[in-house]
Amino acid sequence: MTTYSLLILPGDGIGPEVMTEVRKVIGWFEANKGLKFDVSEDLVGGAAYDVHGIPLSDATMQKAQEVDAVLLGAVGGPKYDNLDFSVKPERGLLRLRKEMDLFANLRPAQCFDALADFSSLKRDVVAGLDILIVRELTSGVYFGQPRGISEDNTPGNEGGRVGVNTQRYTSGEIRRVARAAFELARKRNNRVCSMEKANVMESGILWREEVQWVHDNEYADVELTHMYADNGAMQLVRNPRQFDVIVTDNLFGDILSDAAAMLTGSLGMLPSASLGAPMANGRPKAMYEPVHGSAPDIAGQGKANPIACILSFAMALRYSYNEGDNAALWKARSRKCSPTACAPAT
């Protein structure tokens, strides 16, 4: 029988408590479905900073590179807000994404029926919503050089400073995430909408041209449309069900996926998968994490809903462990839970 390796990084805030619930789900699969997991656990974010003085140790990074999948809880909290930028909890997360080269971030936004009335939009706009945002995760303004804060004495700013970040995309980076989006669309409703700001950014022009190239040369069977990201934001709150798969860059994807998540009634219920190139076993290098943050205001009170983290594990079953049937099984069970309480079903 195959043993699947899993590195659990609970992180900060509600991370450890939601992960405790995921461990019960893993135990359930071992006891009832004959799956076998080799689970190890380590530190990330503020929890790693407290012990090592950095938000991700080299040893943990190395482990993450070797396992079939990483499951991360959440990072950050008020205790770490004033740390130097280079050791902030978020840097640990960004290092994992970058060094594992997890370029395709899948953020599904599905509206659970029980939650449709919790959405800030009307039930008839969001009921049955099922969209997938594919966010580029390893490039763009998050990582582009040059970056930094320096002194600046340009006229009108004498004695002042300047903050610089660089939006930068290569053809290769755009094409690989576009391919991921088209592949996923083929398994869904066969439609991709690509979002950028080609009206003001050269990187947006390149984005549009390269996505179109991949479509015309490799995925002509999939319907492709393009939209400026600001219009995309508006369309997401106007009529979100018009979308199937949305592919977009790192920063627009960060923002649009939060908006899409909220359509479903709660950011706290959604999983995500970050996938890279195939490993020797043919499965993609992968990290799974709930879309929600560390929620320090409710941490340690037993109130945190673990569904997003459990569904992230379900995504691991599908994409890393080739256990699609078992992933669907758990997803069906989670859908029956109430929005505020969910115990693993037996």
Cite the active site residues: 142, 197, 230, 254, 258
299 binds, among Mg ion, ligand IPM, none (CB under 5 to 8 A by kind): none
**Distances, alpha carbon 204 to alpha carbons 124, 226, 227, 252, in Å:** 33, 11, 11, 11
Residue from the set 39, 40, 63, 90 that interacts with ligand IPM by CB under 6 A? 90
Minimum distance from CB of 90 to ligand IPM (Å)?
4
Nearer residue to ligand IPM within complex by CB, 215 or 268:
268
Nearer residue to ligand IPM within complex by CB, 89 or 240:
89
**Distances, alpha carbon 126 to alpha carbons 120, 139, 227, 239, in Å:** 9, 31, 21, 8
The answer to whether 291 touches 270, Cβ cutoff 8 Å, is yes
93 binds, among ligand IPM, Mg ion, none (CB under 5 to 8 A by kind): ligand IPM
What are the beta bridge partners of residue 289?
272
The gap from C-alpha 13 to its chain's centroid, in whole angstroms, comes to 18
x-or-dash pattern for Mg ion, window 241-260, by CB under 5 A?
Answer: -------------x------
Contacts of 296 (CB under 8 A, 6+ apart): 12, 13, 76, 77, 78
Torsion of CA 241, 247, 251, 257, to 10 degrees: 30
Total of residues contacting ligand IPM (CB under 6 A): 3
Residue from the set 7, 47, 69, 93 that interacts with ligand IPM by CB under 6 A? 93
Nearer residue to ligand IPM within complex by CB, 93 or 104:
93
Position closest to ligand IPM via CB: 90
Contact status: 254 vs ligand IPM (CB under 6 A): yes
The gap from C-alpha 71 to its chain's centroid, in whole angstroms, comes to 11
Site for ligand IPM in 17-36 (CB under 6 A): none
Rounded Cα distance between 132 and 243, Å, is 8
Binding site for Mg ion (CB under 5 A): 254
